[in-house]
Amino acid sequence: MVKVRDLGLGFNSDEIVLFKYCSGSCHRARSNYDLTLGTLLRQQLITPGPQERILSHPCCRPTRYEAVSFMDVENTWQTVEKLSAAECSCIG
């Protein structure tokens, strides 16, 4: 449960909404790509640039989203599409 104004989307509202998110590890879903990339990174045969972050495992991410509706401080209903996670899966 989070305040709408804390979402960082610029809405001025005192309402509290349910923000669902994905978390967890995906190590069981590792592909040959993930295993190979992990090995090459450990052996330093691939080195990320100064602004890069290379992940050698799949990420738990939303695969389906829900819209969230709330009333702002001017008593106007607002709906934000694709805000809250409705379904999660290992991506990558």
Comparing 65 with 45, the larger pLDDT belongs to: 65
Binned at pLDDT 50, 70 and 90, residue 30 comes out as: confident
User: Percentages helix, strand, coil for the chain, rounded to the nearest 5?
Assistant: 20, 35, 45
Provide the residue ranges of all domains of the chain, joining segments of one domain with +. 2-91
pLDDT at 57 over 80: no
CATH class of 2-91: mainly beta
pTM: 0.70
The pLDDT of 2-17, averaged and rounded, is 94
Please tell me the predicted confidence (pLDDT) of residue 7. Answer: 94
